[in-house]
Amino acid sequence: MGLSENEFSSPELNSSGSISHGLRKALVSSTNKMLVKVPGFDSLEGQRRSTMMAVAWGLMGLILLATLSISTVLFSGNESTEEVWTASFFNSGADSCDINDIVEECVIFDSSLGPGESVTHTWTYDDNATLAISAGSMVTYCNPATVDSDVQHSFTLESPTEFASTGGTTIEVEGGGFPGEESAIGFANRHTTFSQPANLSADSMEELQGLVDSVTQAETWSTGNGLYTMTIERAPSGPLNSASECDFLSVIGVIRSIEPLADDFNVSRTVSSHSKAFSPALVGAFGGSICLATATLAWLVARPLEL
């Protein structure tokens, strides 16, 4: 017996329709369970009940969209202000020693010596850490005057701290002098063992002050503090020592570290904008998916179930 056209059906189509029908039935059933506690919902029947379920899915989509929008506002494009406080232990630069001016970084001694005589000067330094030490001596006047006041002499400086270059505390400078000024002898900026922080930085003024204190309260902060002894000795004889008496000017100078004070602290502020993972494209993708999904679900539950 043959089958009529109306009696013919595809197994695949029947199977697909059965699955689709089953999914819609499960969706309607779960939506019913969600809304059963809503007052008045149980009394609705037919299309009115289906319409109410569709409205519920629409409201759920709106709630999800609102949540996404609020999250975007709260977590996207946050601004924060960052502070960086800095301070430097800078030195005083070249010593400003002057014949008529004694400043705290140096001391000047005057003395008169005949041939073969010597004199000792002392100076106690008690201040910030010493970075480098300089010393010099020169003849300023002789009676009777020798040629260009070129008088041979030498000096020895004993410091309270070691010199980084020599490893000792004493430096001796023999006669001979600088070219063109043979009566002037000395050395400049022999560094001590103190290591000065070039720059300190912190996130707050209080934290920076703590870093400064850790330097100034350490034992190394007393580097170069103590007694300096300088002994000048004139040569006893020679062609440049015919004068019976000569005046000498001698100098001990230090380049010291300067403790930064809170009033001198520098602060820089940086305003940073931190963008979270909520880019416009990502928000659009999520929002579009929510609209599509909830609209589809609302449409499915609004259609009457076919038996």
Read off the pLDDT of each residue in 47-64 and give the average, rounded to a whole number. Answer: 66
- φ and ψ at 154, to 5 degrees? -145, 165
Most confident of 174-188, 199-213, 287-301: 199-213
Same-domain check for residues 71 and 194 = no
Nearest Cα neighbor of 123 from 114, 115, 134 is 134
Specify the CATH number for the domain of residue 219.
2.60.120.380
Same-domain check for residues 185 and 220 = yes
Q: Nearest-5° angle of CA 240, CA 138, CA 112?
A: 80
pLDDT of 257-280, one tens digit each? 888 888 888 988 876 665 555 556
pTM of full prediction above 0.95: no
**Domain count along the chain:** 2
Same-domain check for residues 102 and 246 = yes
Residue 161 lies in a domain: yes
Same-domain check for residues 238 and 141 = yes
Same-domain check for residues 280 and 260 = no
Same-domain check for residues 148 and 295 = no
| Angle (deg, nearest 10), helices 46-75 and 280-302 | 170
Read off the pLDDT of each residue in 177-197 and give the average, rounded to a whole number. Answer: 82
CA distance 140 to 150: 10
Strand order of the β-sheet with 118-125 is 118-125, 226-234, 153-158, 170-173
Within 13 Å, how many C-alpha atoms sit on residue 37's CB side?
A: 2
Whether a cis peptide bond, with omega within 30° of 0, leads into 144 is yes
Comparing 227 with 70, which gets the higher pLDDT? 227
Residue 235 lies in a domain: yes
> What's the pLDDT score for residue 206?
94
Residue 3 lies in a domain: no
- Residue 163 pLDDT exceeds 60: yes
> What's the pLDDT score for residue 105?
80
Mean model confidence pLDDT for the chain: 75
Same-domain check for residues 253 and 281 = no
Place of tokens 């330094």: 125
Same-domain check for residues 261 and 128 = yes
Q: What is the 3-state secondary structure (H, E, C) of the chain?
A: CCCCCCCCCCHHHHHHHHHHHHHHHHHHHHHHHHHCCCCCCCCCCHHHHHHHHHHHHHHHHHHHHHHHHHHHHHHCCEEEEEEEEEECCCECCCCCCECCECCCCEEEEEEEECCCCEEEEEEEECCCCEEEEEEEEEEEEEECCCHHHCCCEEEEEECCCCECCCCCCEEEECCCCECCECCCEEEEEEEECCCCCCCEEECCHHHHHHHHHHHHCCHHHHCCCEEEEEEEEECCCCCCCCCCEEEEEEEEEEEEECCCCHHHCEEEEEEEEECCCCCHHHHHHHHHHHHHHHHHHHHHHHCCCCC
> What's the pLDDT score for residue 193?
92
Same-domain check for residues 283 and 260 = no
Residue 6 lies in a domain: no
Q: Nearest-5° angle of CA 132, CA 138, CA 141?
A: 155
Residue 212 lies in a domain: yes
CA distance 161 to 155: 18
Residue 1 lies in a domain: no
> What's the pLDDT score for residue 276?
54
- Residue 13 pLDDT exceeds 60: no
> What's the pLDDT score for residue 10?
41
- Residue 18 pLDDT exceeds 60: no
Nearest Cα neighbor of 120 from 230, 3, 274, 262 is 230
Which band of pLDDT confidence, cut at 50, 70 and 90, is reported for residue 5? very low
78 with 276: CB under 8 angstroms? yes
Percentage of the chain beyond pLDDT 90 is 30
Same-domain check for residues 115 and 260 = yes
- Residue 219 pLDDT exceeds 60: yes
Domain, as residue range, for 157: 86-266
CA distance 298 to 170: 96
Residue 307 lies in a domain: no
> What's the pLDDT score for residue 67?
74
pLDDT of 226-239, one tens digit each? 999 999 998 887 66
Rg (CA), the chain: 47
Comparing 139 with 98, which gets the higher pLDDT? 139
Percentage of the chain beyond pLDDT 70 is 53
Comparing 203 with 81, which gets the higher pLDDT? 203
Same-domain check for residues 112 and 227 = yes
Residue 2 lies in a domain: no
Same-domain check for residues 289 and 231 = no
> What's the pLDDT score for residue 231?
97
- Residue 205 pLDDT exceeds 70: yes
